[in-house]
Amino acid sequence: MTALESGRYHRLQLLLGLARLVLGAAFLAAVLLLGGGRILAELAARVTASAAGQVALVAAALGAGHALLGVPFAWLSSWVLPRRYGLLHQPFPAWLADRAKAAALGAAIGLAGVEVVYALLRLTPLWWLAAAALAFAFAIALTAVLPIWILPMFFRLTPLADTTLRTRLLALAERAGVSAVGVWIADQSRKSRTANAAVIGLGRTRRILLYDTLAAGFRPEEIEAVLAHELGHHAHGDLRRGLLVQGALSVVTFWVASHALSAGVGRFGYAGVADPAGLPWLALVLAALGLLLTPLVNAFSRYVERQADDFALALTRDPDGFIGAMERLAALNLAERRPHPLKEALLFSHPALDRRIARARAVA
């Protein structure tokens, strides 16, 4: 696929993402300004006297409305475009089943989070600090259970059968000082041509994960280069650093949201900060804060990704293997090799691919 076609694909994805973002924000703003939150809260109060039940009903109604508006964009960005550009070959029923599982999981986690926040709002003015602490603990727990509970919902995971490659990769992990319980293969080829590798989990759940597309289509030294990058994150403690950054940003986010909720009580006539009618306002504030913080989060991410690249080059001492892996990944994953610097600064969690290859060539 040519660079022109790749550029067109990413432009279309960007336009769809922006349209979905604008429509979602407009939905929340319309509900807020038209008094939809108060109407939903009153209807919920007629159904149940339970505060938690009222929060659940209002949250479910808002979440369902927001999700339905996003369905066409999800279909276009995750099904139509990837198939048109050769990235996806998963049958539609299987794709739909994966989307349904992801939506159900996201809805369950989101509803639990909303219930916890409103329970804390009813308990203490310092709800924002407690909410940030619980979000931090949840992120740690989710990281630990990801390989044993979450990923098996979407992939068939099997131990790597190639004993020579398994021994080689575990030896690489040992040289990096990262312990892993084994090497597992995810059947990505059932869905897509894309390839990747990861080191996932914590402690006794930590394991090396390879897409079968990577294991079958890449040379051993290229697989080592990709894995060495992932090992670099664990060797540098990037998981810990990322959680700490995420925790600090959660404190700031919830603190600002606390002040915004208090202001909303007078501005929109809520009964108090714990009034479920204020949920659209809270959701809009959190979404706006998340959007504003995204460039900062991405800048930190690009910094640690550059460090992981340098670690991989030092560990393998094979810049040609690294360059070969990046070139193959670029072709398979239809990477945007030279994004506009502003787009890279705002939206990219990794350095642009051509920058990564240039650093490796400098080492070579």
Are 334 and 6 spatial neighbours (Cβ–Cβ below 8 Å)? yes
Name beta bridge partners: 200: 207
pLDDT of amino acid 63: 97
pLDDT of amino acid 23: 97
Distance CA 364, CA 359 (A): 9
How would you label 253-279 residue by residue, b for 16+ Cβ within 10 Å and e otherwise? Answer: bbebbbebbeebbeebebeebbbbbbb
pLDDT of amino acid 2: 66
Q: Which strands, in side-by-side order, build the sheet including 207-211?
A: 157-159, 183-186, 207-211, 197-200
Nearest partner of 58 among 37, 89, 29, judged by Cα? 37
Q: Give the pLDDT of the chain (364 residues) as one tens digit per residue.
A: 567 888 899 999 999 999 999 999 999 999 999 999 999 999 999 999 999 999 999 999 999 999 999 999 999 999 999 999 999 999 999 999 999 999 999 999 999 999 999 999 999 999 999 999 999 999 999 999 999 999 999 999 999 999 999 999 999 999 999 999 899 999 999 999 999 999 999 989 999 999 999 999 999 999 999 999 999 999 999 999 999 999 999 999 999 999 999 999 989 999 999 999 999 999 999 999 999 999 999 999 999 999 999 999 999 999 999 999 999 999 999 999 999 999 999 999 999 999 999 999 998 7
pTM: 0.94
pLDDT of amino acid 363: 83
Nearest partner of 363 among 298, 316, 328, 331, judged by Cα? 316
pLDDT of amino acid 301: 97
Q: How many Cβ atoms are within 10 Å of 252's Cβ, its own excluded?
A: 13
Contacts of 86 (CB under 8 A, 6+ apart): 1, 193, 334
